[in-house]
């Protein structure tokens, strides 16, 4: 039997090497490790507030009250900081512990060659990320969104937000593989 394809790892193979990138939504850094291993970025921003989100909407998310506590979120941040200590000291990884829209203020326009969007999966959250990080991405850069599918708690949030962006015509679909969708920025 053929082994199943890991579409998230396949998506990573499409990222430019030795480039500047960002991962929005880091959790415990498992995927960040793969980005570093496969894309070998010159600089990678790891963006996550590691903040417990109160309220029923987020309760079943990895950062909601049924699956985490603030102590757990703090421990995840500490784990990521320890995992990337060497790269942080070398300057190739920067952790921005902040909500993505606030972290965007610490990144220059046209600085990013790629951004991996995997933070707040609500329609409003993804829409805010696409809007805040669009200007940060160079023309020709790649925006990859995870969980482009109908989800559990986030329902059609990711699909609708990404489709809105596609509909505006500034990006072309590079590929859609499993629940990964990659868009190429066409114009500034
Ligand atoms: C699905 S997890 C990320 C998983 C990670 N990319 C991986 O593949 O291992 C979602 C993460 O998004 C973070 N998050 C939620 N809202 C966010 C926001 N507004 N800005 C940045 N990160 C956010 C959560 O704290 C959580 O760690």
Nearest partner of 24 among 105, 111, 88, 120, judged by Cα: 120
- Cα(47) to ligand 1 centroid in Å equals 8
Q: Is residue 15 part of a domain?
A: yes
CATH number at residue 47: 3.40.50.150
The pTM assigned to this predicted structure is: 0.97
Count up the domains in the chain and report the number.
1
Contact residues of ligand 1, CB 6 A cut-off? 23-27, 30-31, 47-50, 62-63, 99-100, 118-120, 125
Q: Is residue 135 part of a domain?
A: yes
**pLDDT tens digits, residue range 34-90?**
999 999 999 999 999 999 999 999 999 999 999 999 999 999 999 999 999 999 999
- Cα(86) to ligand 1 centroid in Å equals 22
Say what the pLDDT of residue 132 is: 98
Q: Is residue 2 part of a domain?
A: no
Q: Is residue 1 part of a domain?
A: no
Question: Measured from the CA of 47, which atom of ligand 1 is nearest?
Answer: 21
Domain that holds residue 131: 7-185
CA distances, 107 to each of 21, 46, 66, 94, 159 (Å): 10, 12, 33, 11, 26
**pLDDT tens digits, residue range 21-38?**
999 999 999 999 999 999
């Amino acid at each position: 039997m053929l082994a199943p394809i890991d579409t998230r790892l396949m998506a990573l193979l499409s990222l430019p090497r030795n480039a500047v990138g960002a991962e929005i939504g880091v959790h415990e850094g498992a995927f960040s490790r793969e980005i570093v291993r496969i894309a070998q970025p010159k600089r990678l921003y790891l963006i996550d507030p590691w903040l417990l989100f109160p309220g029923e909407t987020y309760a079943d998310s990895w950062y909601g009250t049924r699956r985490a506590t603030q102590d757990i979120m703090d421990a995840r941040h500490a784990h990521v900081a320890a995992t990337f200590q060497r790269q942080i000291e070398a300057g190739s990884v920067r952790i921005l512990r902040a909500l993505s829209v606030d972290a965007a203020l610490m990144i220059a326009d046209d600085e990013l060659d790629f951004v991996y969007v995997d933070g707040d999966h609500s329609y409003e959250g993804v829409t805010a990320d696409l809007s805040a990080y669009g200007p940060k991405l160079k023309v020709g850069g790649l925006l990859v969104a995870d969980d482009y599918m109908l989800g559990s708690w986030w329902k059609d949030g990711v699909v609708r937000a990404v489709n809105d962006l596609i509909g505006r015509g500034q990006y072309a679909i590079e590929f859609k593989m499993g629940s990964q969708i990659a868009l190429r920025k066409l114009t500034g």
